[in-house]
Amino acid sequence: MTHAAHSHDLQRCRELVAQLNDYLDGELPADLCAELEHHLADCPDCQVVLDTLGQTVRILHHLDEAPPPALPADLEARLLARLRAG
Amino acid sequence: MPGPTIDLSIYADEAALLAALRRHDPDACTCLVKRFAPLVYARALRLTGDPDEAESVLQSTFIKVCDALPGFDGASSLGTWIYRIATNEGLMVLRRRKPQIALDDVADNLHPEEVPHQFQAWSHDPQRLALDGELRAQIERAIAALPEQLRVVVLLRDVEGLSTEETAAQLGISPGAVKVRLHRARLRLREALADYLAARSEEHA
């Protein structure tokens, strides 16, 4: 799928991509937010990029909630031996 | 040789574990390692990308933890405190490496890998997906493939939850550089996950 499917100026989309992160983190100034939201309402591709970028960030935030793999046994044994040696 | 097997529930309560550690109960030390070492090692491996360096981070972290335990004031949870020490140890290992080629921090100048190419929606709940083993493997591979200067920033900010200012202070760079690198890292990870997640949302449509 290509971005050219829409009538938007690709350069404009690229400029706005640079602001998506600040927008997601709530750090984009209000006037730029309004401008971005105006563009998003009319550009499905940029809307998808924003949504999926937000999902990417949420996946990263939850990455360490699942239990990590157990420590390899030899590595654990070396660590315990090191700690017991003082 | 398999590691010792102990009943982890004996020190389920953090205060009980701390008290046992302070009286040098050997089971308490094993319990501490069993409970916290897996994530310390997993994070060190992500940060350094090298099993030997990750083991060195693991060992130095627990040595520091044991040395500093008498002064641990319990202002944060034991886990938070240990993982903070681990992050510092990991960053120290990275600093000892040869200097990296400086990244171009100009925000407008995205690399080809950062310019969005994927415009297909994902339809899954990302919180549920975080527990999906295959997705975890995908994201771990994508993180490992990032250039070190982008990888470190996204790990500190988005995985370990440091603020922009804390990350900047840890890395000795400006908050602006943290933001630019974070954005570039997130765009690369989005692109890397898009093939997998867009395909899955089609499957489940």
Structure-model confidence comparison of residues B184 and A12, the more confident one: B184
> How far apart (Å, rounded) are the C-alpha atoms in residues B190 and B205?
21
B126 has pLDDT over 60: no
Structure-model confidence comparison of residues B134 and B205, the more confident one: B134
CB-based contacts of B31, cutoff 8 Å, min separation 6: B6, B8, B10, B11, B17, B20
Task: Count structural domains, chain A.
Answer: 1
| Sign of CA pseudo-dihedral B30, B31, B36, B38 | positive
Token pair of B32 as six digits: 């501490």
Residues of the domain holding A9:
3-85
pLDDT band at B1 (very low <50, low <70, confident <90, very high): very low
Pick from B115, B120, B187: which is nearest to A48 by CB?
A: B120
For B68-117, the pLDDT digits (tens) are 998 898 889 999 999 999 999 999 999 888 666 555 554 446 777 788 88
* Closest approach of B99 to chain A, Cα-based (Å): 27
For B149-192, the pLDDT digits (tens) are 999 999 999 999 999 999 999 999 999 999 999 999 999 999 99
Does A18 sit within 8 Å of B33, measured CB to CB?
A: no
Domains and CATH numbers, chain B: 8-96 (1.10.1740.10), 126-203 (1.10.10.10)
A18 has pLDDT over 60: yes
> How far apart (Å, rounded) are the C-alpha atoms in residues B90 and B148?
13
In SS3 terms, B85-140 reads as HHHHHHHHHHHHCCCCCCCCCCCCCCCCCCCCCCCCCCCCCHHHHCCCHHHHHHHH
Pick from A52, A61, A76: which is nearest to B194 by CB?
A: A52
Mean pLDDT of A58-73: 90
What amino acid occupies position A23?
Answer: Y
CA-based nearest residue in chain A for residue B30: A80
Pick from A18, A65, A83: which is nearest to B130 by CB?
A: A65
